[in-house]
Structure 1
């Protein structure tokens, strides 16, 4: 006989969170493997735009981070061809050069100690929405991790290879995890690679949903209290890691070459 049918929502949420802590373990992956997998996940999710876009994650030493080599597409990134760079984009490990646009990553890492991974891409639907100079509107339960958590930069500062662009983008991002950059693309951040990856997948879906809804009628708002509740419920570390593990398993079926050896997910 059922014993939980009269439990409060708070009680059921707490129970589910405890169960997730038990059933979803941390993936046994290195940072480099997570970045390589994220590149393939992003590629499969429509984030490919030639050589545009960067993914980075902090290195072990302060002021360093891993990123991909300029000249390689997201579908060509492996754990072995990543670069370790410093804040001046000097290569400390690996061969080749980083994307000069990585400079604004250095600014974000300096401004946000809570950020350990940055993903900036020009996916089709997010870029199309950016062309309209329209902020991201979160009006569906699936996209609530971005509710009140996606900034908007209306003015395009030009090619983001200068320090000025780093100052502008990091300031516009503020304390949020994501930002839509007008006439440009999207940028998401995470305390973990898993969190940033999940948000990157989500923001492109959110932009696509918004464009479809705008074409059909007027988007109706979510109840703010319920949207904030959903944001918090769907933004936990365990859920991010479970989502990443799913995306990674799917990516490995399509791109088994991106990591070396066997991985547990």
Structure 2
């Protein structure tokens, strides 16, 4: 059985992009941390740059709960850090390629939550038992099986974006 590594979620912000993307990403990271989505320093979230330069994302080496605006970095599609303190996550292509492929998506979240890992490992489809579950199905959550490794290249990021298609989430198994 393939090892489940994570889940990636893409969603719209619900209106215009915030004027201060670093603060918005830091707040989102803190919320994820408070909801047991952390896995030490793994996992990241991003927000489309309002000026089209790439994505604002959590810097590497910190947990969600440690995020403050200065630790949010602007990363272009080639992986260069254009603003912010700290390095970028190696898996930045998850974010840049989904954002490039989906004009309707303004943010991408990649976590290693215990519940998503368990769901992915079972091969079972998600059955919504709450209003929140309806944000993800139908259609069924996509399953990315191209690799169980890290998404380190733009090609793998594009593969993930294709697997995601028009869905709101993909389990990376």
Q: Name the TM tier (shorter chain).
A: 0.7 to 0.9
Seen in structure 2, the aligned counterparts of structure 1 residues 140 and 84 have a Cα distance that, compared at 3 Å, is closer
Once the two structures are superposed, the pairs formed by residues 79-90 of structure 1 within 5 Å of their partners are: 79-90=69-80
* Alignment TM-score, normalising by the size of structure 2: 0.81
Do the aligned partners of 2:41 and 2:62 also contact (CA within 8 Å) in 1? Answer: yes
Is 1:160 aligned with 2:151?
yes
Question: How much is the aligned-residue C-alpha RMSD, in angstroms?
Answer: 2.1
Unpaired runs of at least 5, structure 2? 1-15
* Distance (Å, rounded) in 2 between the aligned partners of 1:73 and 1:61: 27
Q: Which has the higher helix share?
A: 1
**1:147 alignment partner in structure 2:** 137
| Residue 169 of structure 1 pairs with residue 156 of structure 2 | no
SS at match of 1:33: helix
Query: Corresponding residue for 1:73?
Result: 63
| Residue of structure 2 equivalent to 1:61 | 51
CA contact (8 A) 1:50 1:73 kept: yes
Q: 1:106 to 1:167 in 2, by over 3 A?
A: same
Contact 1:103 1:161 in 2 (8 A): yes
Q: Name the CA distance, whole Å, in 2 between partners of 1:65 and 1:29.
A: 14
* Secondary structure of 1:47 counterpart: coil
The change in CA–CA distance for 1:29 and 1:46 in structure 2 (over 3 A counts) is farther
Measure, in 2, the Cα distance between the counterparts of 1:150 and 1:40: 28
Q: TM-score, normalised by structure 1?
A: 0.54
Choose which of 83, 90, 102 in structure 1 pairs with 2:92. 102
Query: Larger radius of gyration, structure 1 or 2?
Result: 1
Equivalent position of 1:35 in the other structure: 25
Contact 1:103 1:166 in 2 (8 A): yes
Q: Separation in 2 of the partners of 1:150 and 1:121?
A: 19
Superposed displacement of residue 86, structure 1: 0.6
Instruction: Tell whether the 8 Å contact from 1:150 to 1:179 is kept in structure 2 after alignment.
Output: no
More strand by share: 2
